[in-house]
Structures are given as C-alpha cells and as structure tokens.
Amino acid sequence: MNRFFKRFKTASGRAAALFMAACFIPAAGGCGLIPREEAEHKLNIVTEDVSSKYTLAMAELQDVELTKTIVCTYSQLNEIKVFFPISGYKVNSVFVSEGDSVKVGDPLAAFDVSRLEDAVADYGEKILEAELEISQNEETIAFYNEKIASSAVNLLDKEEYTIKAHECEEAIIESRNTIEYAQNRIDEYNEIIAQSVLYSEIEGTVYYVKDDLTGWTTSTDVQVMKLLDSGECAFTADDKVAAGYVKKGDHVTVERSTGEKYEATVSSVDAESGKIVFDLDEPDYSISVGTRANIYLTVDSKKQVLAVPRVAVYGSEDSYYVYVLTDDGI
C-alpha cells in the first residue's frame, strides 16, 4: 500500500484521485463487496486537452473597402417578344427552333385559317350571284318602264308592270345588302388571314419558342417566342441587390476569366427586375454572345478605421461578429 500511495503522490489533481481510487478497488474485493472476477479493472488516464482552439488577430487602423462582385453575361440587348394577335385558332405551322438565325420578314409560325379561306371563297361566289341578280333585275325594270311609258299598253297592264318593277327594285336592294354583308365578312376574314402568320421584325436569333406550340390554341396574352437582335450587344446582369447601389452613368471595369478587361458604363438599371446593362466604352466585336465576366464594384469605403482580417469575422443569418479577448483572458 505504501508503494501505491507514493506513486499516487507523484500524480496531480483529478487524474491522481482517479488512479488512487482504482488502487483501492482490489482491497474492497477482498471484503466480499465486489466479486473477485470483477475486481480487476484497467484505467486509461487521458490528459485533458486545454490547448488553444483559436489564433489571435491584431486590430489595426486601415483604409478599408466593401466590394461587390457582379456576374454578367454578354447578351443581345434588343429583344422582341412575339405574341399571336388573335385568340382562338389552332397553330398548325412552326417554322423555326430555338437557336435559329432569322432575318427581317422570315416566317416564324402560323395558325390554321383554312376554314376562313373557304368562307372567303363562298362569300365571293355569293357576291357574284348577287351582282348577276342585280343586273338581271335592272334589265327587267328597264323593260317594264318601257311598257309603262308606251301608249299601246292599257292601264291595267301598266299597273301590273309597275308592281313588277317595284318587286325588282326590292330584289335589287336585297341583293345589294347581300353583297355588303358578304364583303364585310370577306374583309374581316382576310384581315385575320393576313395576321395568321408571324414574321420576324429583326435580324437576330430565336432565343425562345413555347413548348408544344404546334396544335396549341392561340391566346393574345401568351408569349410564344422571343427574338434577340444580333446588332446590339452589351454585358448584362440580373442582380436586384446590385441594382440598389449602381446608377446610370457609373463607370466600371469588366473582367473576363481569361484576363481581358473592358471599360464600360452603366446604361440602364431596372431596380424592380434587377437587370443592369453595361455598355462597353469601346465596342469589341470579337466577344461572343454568352461570354461571362465579373464586375468588381466598391460599395463603400472608410479611411483609417479599426480593422481585423476577414478570417476573424464570423457571420450568422442576420449579422456579423468577432470574438474579443479581454484582459482576463476570456
């Protein structure tokens, strides 16, 4: 026992106490309190790790800047949203696909107007028939007028000719009404037929085509295509946050991942959609549409403020904070 106690004294604190308790367990086993088969235990002593979990960073007076990186894409600016002008007709032809190049006047899509074309032909025939009836009735009226004016015709016959001439005049009025109605329908249908085909208004690229457009029933409220003008391009970004602190006329530097840099000017800012357009100060026609680049903006700056390295700043969902070591080491 003295030997164990001497060893215990060489230990320190909590670990030594645990060690001494382990040494007395076999003695207790001899009293019958702990079965002999459970009296032998091994104790692993682990040294408590109290090493530092952090490094110190000195706060120094510095000039600091708050920067923002905006990702932008070289895009075609002038875009045309394409809608059918009339609702309720089945689309039967789509002439382009996404990515196709188009020129002014190229057909894009069309809806079925075959029934309208048949109706126009039918009304055309009705007009011809009505015109023929008018001509015949006019000849008949002329004949009746001759009889009425003739002294050789008795009064009873003249009265009959007058009635028949009046009937012909009414028939002419009816025929003219038929012609007017038919012509109105022809004009109406021809106007629809003229609007049944969508044509490109610009030279550019088909950027979007509505899914399952063939067989779809037209609606004036639904966009069916989008065309991009190949003649006007700029770097654009969709960033509502950045749109809050850039303004039209700001000068920026656009930097590609390959190292090329371009000076540009903010030409438009839409705070609602977040779309920002950066026009190059010097056009570069070698840039391909779809090229991505970064714009680094200085949002705010301060002179000679107490600053710490970025790695010393921690962030939570709604704030940023730092840990400060007090004079007490806490």
Q: Which of helix, strand or coil describes residue 330? A: coil
Task: Count how many residues are written for the chain.
Answer: 330
How does pLDDT run across 158-174, given as a tens digit for each residue? Answer: 889 899 999 999 999 99
The stretch 293-314 carries a mean pLDDT of 85
pLDDT value of position 45: 61
At 326, the pLDDT band (50, 70, 90 cuts) reads confident
The stretch 89-95 carries a mean pLDDT of 98
How does pLDDT run across 220-276, given as a tens digit for each residue? Answer: 999 999 998 877 789 999 999 888 888 999 999 999 989 899 999 999 999 889 999
pLDDT value of position 228: 86
pLDDT value of position 38: 52
Rg (CA), the chain: 47
Q: Which helix (H) or strand (E) holds 301?
A: strand 292-307
pLDDT value of position 56: 79
pTM: 0.54
For 91, residues 6+ apart whose C-beta sits below 8 A from its C-beta are 84, 109, 110, 111, 112, 213, 214, 215, 216, 217, 218, 224
In a 10 Å sphere around its CB, with 0-12 CB exposed, 13-18 middle and 19+ buried, how is residue 225 labelled?
Answer: buried
As beta bridge partners, residue 68 has 297
The conformation of residue 217, written as its DSSP 8-state character, comes to B
Lowest average pLDDT, out of 141-155, 198-212, 299-313, 315-329, goes to 315-329
Mean pLDDT taken over the chain: 84
pLDDT value of position 9: 40
pLDDT value of position 167: 94
At 329, the pLDDT band (50, 70, 90 cuts) reads low
CA–CA dist 245, 268 (Å, integer): 13
- For residue 94, is pLDDT > 90? yes
Q: How many CB atoms neighbour CB 278 within 10 A?
A: 27
How does pLDDT run across 99-119, given as a tens digit for each residue? Answer: 899 999 999 999 999 999 999
